[in-house]
């Protein structure tokens, strides 16, 4: 009986296996069309194939210069109480918390290890780690960074870093860009290294975006997300036409509107930072305000006219020497019309001192052209932050950066949430704090010492604020001297 049951079970197993084999054999009689099957799309797509292959080649080559930038900085402030101290174990040194950030960059000189990125990627960093395209990581050091244009140059600290499988990118001519030109954006969006996106140039010369104090931007619909900052925007020649910097988004993610610093501006700033560790800012010596409709009507200026009206001219400044007078309306620089008052500040500020420039003005209803030579903005040789407090800048407890002029401290930068924001502007000259003035200071170090002492004394006296006597800078509509009250917090 047992033998018969065993035989029955074996027959059932063999039948089941046979069914499986049978089904498997039947499956071999059908297969999906092979990948080589031709598809009739009804049109010649060879051009699209070439475009796809070209974009792929550009991406593959450009990736060899891409750098993944990670930074960390120590947060300052009260760190709380060590719980072990409460139980009699003695005081321990509690490490200060650190803030970490991610961004992108790209190699611009392989032999020297120079890397370009955004200032906001590395600003304030205690440590900079650079992961190169060959997978190796090195420490980075800031050679110079300019907050006015959001450009920074970082150098690989190890002079013997491996250059295997790496390449440097070339800065192209952003003036040759046109709307509709195809571009590739590279970077590390959300930390996803070596990502690319493909798109077109949506617009050129985007200014008044309040992203930076100077310069305009290339707008693109190539996807740019957090982590792309500092990465290259590359054209179809494989050249960099911009540094990816910002996006327009209500959600914080990609909305089809990204902005890049144009390569021609990058070239100028980078050369200054590498050679001098600083950026010289152009200057013509005029105080002005926006050209409003009311002013146009009063002066019989056509309503379509765009520009600024001059309120005061510094006698020995470049504009004064060229013949510019109060009531003149500046409408163009080197034949290129002004879009707004900020446009004048940006375009003059970004010109190299010594540059010969043509200024188009309207006077008494008639347009004329004046020739002038761009001067150096007082103290602008120190507007770039190189990390050397005595030689370049100092970030005070009031959230300001300073440079030095014989008569006082020039405000070069303000933090958005600083006590002075809204009361002072970059370019304003602080002549005194309460009764402490800076007229006898011989250099930045002495002036800063006096400034710190005045602030410390005010806090010791439990003052809630200090009064600063200032001379209005070029970003203000009206020139002259004023008193400004700044809260100490």
> Which residues are known catalytic residues?
120, 150, 229
Q: Cβ neighbours of residue 454 under 8 Å, at least 6 residues apart?
A: 433, 434, 436, 466
**Helix, strand or coil for residue 105?**
strand
Can you point out the beta strands (E) in 214-285? 217-220, 232-235, 240-247, 258-262, 282-283
Number of Cβ atoms within 10 Å of the Cβ of 423: 16
CA distance 266 to 426: 22
Q: Are 426 and 473 in contact (CB under 8 A)?
A: yes
The residues, any chain, with a CB within 8 Å of residue 288's CB and separated by 6 or more, are 308, 309, 310, 311, 330, 341, 344, 477
> What is the helix (H) or strand (E) element at residue 207, kind and residue range?
none
Contacts of 34 (CB under 8 A, 6+ apart): none
- Residue 349: helix, strand or coil by DSSP? helix
Residue 283 · residue 377 · CB < 8 Å = yes
Tokens in use for 344?
């004048």
User: The tokens of 102 are what?
Assistant: 């991610």
Rounded to whole angstroms, the Cα distance separating 296 from 422 reads 28
For the chain, count helices (H), then strands (E). 9, 26
Rounded CA separation 353/355 (Å): 6
Residues making up the chain, counted from first to last: 489
Considering only CA atoms, which of 429, 473, 480, 477 is closest in space to residue 288?
477
Distance between CA atoms of 184 and 194, rounded to whole angstroms?
12
């Amino acid at each position: 009986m047992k033998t018969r049951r065993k035989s029955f079970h074996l027959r059932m197993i063999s039948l089941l296996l046979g069914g499986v084999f049978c089904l498997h054999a039947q499956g071999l009689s059908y297969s999906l069309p092979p990948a080589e099957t031709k598809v009739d799309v009804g049109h010649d797509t060879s051009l699209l194939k070439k475009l796809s292959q070209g974009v792929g080649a550009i991406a593959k080559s450009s990736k060899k210069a891409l750098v993944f930038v990670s930074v960390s900085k120590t947060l300052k402030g009260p760190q709380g109480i060590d719980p072990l101290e409460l139980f009699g174990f003695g005081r321990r040194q509690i490490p200060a918390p650190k803030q970490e950030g991610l961004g992108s960059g790209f190699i611009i000189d392989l032999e020297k290890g120079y890397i370009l990125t955004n200032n906001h990627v590395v600003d304030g960093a205690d440590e900079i780690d650079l992961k190169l395209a060959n997978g190796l990581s090195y420490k980075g050091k800031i050679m110079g960074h300019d907050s006015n244009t959001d450009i920074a140059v970082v150098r690989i600290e190890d002079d013997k870093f491996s250059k295997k499988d790496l390449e440097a990118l070339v800065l192209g001519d952003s003036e040759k860009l046109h709307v509709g030109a195809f571009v590739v954006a590279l970077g590390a969006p959300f930390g996803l290294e070596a990502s690319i996106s493909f798109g077109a140039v949506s617009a050129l010369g985007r200014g008044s975006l309040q992203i930076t104090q100077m310069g305009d931007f290339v707008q693109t619909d190539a996807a740019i997300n957090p982590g792309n900052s500092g990465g290259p925007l590359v054209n179809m020649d494989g050249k960099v036409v911009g540094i990816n910097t910002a996006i327009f988004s209500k959600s914080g993610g990609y909305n089809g509107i990204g902005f890049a610093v144009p390569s021609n501006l990058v070239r100028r700033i980078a050369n200054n930072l590498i050679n001098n560790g600083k950026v010289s800012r152009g200057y013509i010596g005029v105080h002005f305000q926006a050209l409003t409709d009311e002013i146009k009507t009063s002066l019989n200026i056509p309503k379509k006219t765009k520009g600024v009206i001059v309120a005061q001219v510094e006698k020995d400044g470049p504009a004064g020497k060229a013949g510019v007078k109060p009531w003149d309306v500046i409408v163009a620089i080197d034949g290129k019309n002004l879009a707004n008052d900020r446009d004048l500040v940006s375009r003059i500020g970004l010109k190299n001192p010594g540059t010969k420039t043509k200024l188009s003005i309207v006077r008494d209803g008639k347009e004329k052209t004046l020739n002038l030579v761009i001067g150096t903005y007082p103290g602008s040789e120190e507007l770039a932050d190189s990390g050397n407090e005595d030689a370049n800048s100092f970030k005070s407890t009031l959230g300001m950066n300073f440079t030095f002029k014989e008569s006082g401290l020039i405000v070069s930068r303000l933090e958005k949430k600083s006590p002075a924001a809204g009361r002072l502007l970059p370019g304003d000259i602080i002549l005194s704090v309460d009764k402490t003035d800076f007229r006898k200071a011989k250099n930045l170090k002495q002036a800063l010492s006096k400034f710190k002492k005045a602030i410390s004394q005010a806090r010791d006296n439990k003052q809630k604020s200090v009064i600063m006597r200032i001379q209005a800078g070029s970003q203000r509509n009206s020139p002259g001297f004023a008193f400004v009250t700044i809260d100490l917090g």
